[in-house]
Amino acid sequence: MKLLFLAVFLYLTASHVSASDPSPLQDFCVADNYSKVFVNGKVCKDPKLATANDFFFAGLDKPGNTSNPVGSKVTPVNVMQIAGLNTLGISLARIDFAPGGQNPPHTHPRATEILTVLEGTLYVGFVTSNPENRLISKILNKGDVFVFPVGLIHFQQNVGYSNAVAIAALSSQNPGVITIANAVFGANPPISDVVLAKAFQIDKQLVDKLQASFWMDNN
Ligand SMILES: *[C@@H]1O[C@H](CO)[C@@H](O)[C@H](O)[C@H]1NC(C)=O
Ligand SMILES: *[C@@H]1O[C@H](CO)[C@@H](O)[C@H](O)[C@H]1NC(C)=O
């Protein structure tokens, strides 16, 4: 009976859906990484047991390994890395780019992103919703900041001659990433090539070739 009550309460509190993460109802709710209960977010551990390390991450000074087909690497710092981010609606990532490297077109279903360039030169952009599908893009240099609104497809490409580094802040403890090419052509099990041939207005052979490619996940 207690459990049923808890389930109903959690359902009611979790169903007040907003565009970003729900507001916290206490100072903090450090994720109990061992809980087997599934809720919207993560179950809190006893606040009295929270320590500084629950709010701490080390190592963002270390470059990610960009030796891969897209030439970039995302180092996420979200609720999986910092349990204390649970319910706080914010997270971070470091993105490293080799010369010519890119963070391919992707979306964050749960977060707006604000990106600041620490080193190098990036060509960045996002595309608005149908029917305009307007590309809003810019070349960014060291110290420049750019915003990618929640849910919109966006990308970053290193157009300089040296490595580039950026820090992205995101308005979710768990922004999620959907890399467009991976989701469309690398779906598991695969989306029918009949569907993709019509959607992309290309022949099935090309779809099959794309589906047989390796879709690198840089996250
Ligand atoms: C970077 O990744 C490549 C490809 O996986 C690997 O061969 C290489 O050893 C890695 N470099 C470092 C410094 O970890
Ligand atoms: C929580 O558990 C996941 C999965 O086992 C692990 O990858 C992650 O590092 C853990 N996070 C923390 C903050 O302990």
Binning pLDDT at 50, 70 and 90, where does residue 219 land?
confident
* CB 35 near ligand 1, within 6 Å: no
Amino acid at 52: A
3-state secondary structure of 97: strand
* CB 67 near ligand 1, within 6 Å: yes
* Arithmetic mean of pLDDT over the chain: 93
Per-residue pLDDT of 97-111, as tens digits, reads 999 999 999 999 999
> Which parts of the chain are beta strand (E)?
72-77, 91-97, 102-107, 113-119, 122-127, 135-140, 145-148, 154-158, 164-170, 178-179
CB 187 within 8 A of CB 199: no
Per-residue pLDDT of 29-75, as tens digits, reads 999 989 999 999 999 999 999 999 999 999 999 999 999 999 999 99
> Looking at ligand 1, which atom is closest to the CA of residue 65?
1
Domains of the chain: 14-176 (2.60.120.10), 177-219 (no CATH)
Which bound ligand lies closest to the C-alpha atom of 96? Answer: 1
Residues 6+ apart with CB under 8 A from 172: 20, 21, 78, 89, 90, 91, 108, 110, 111
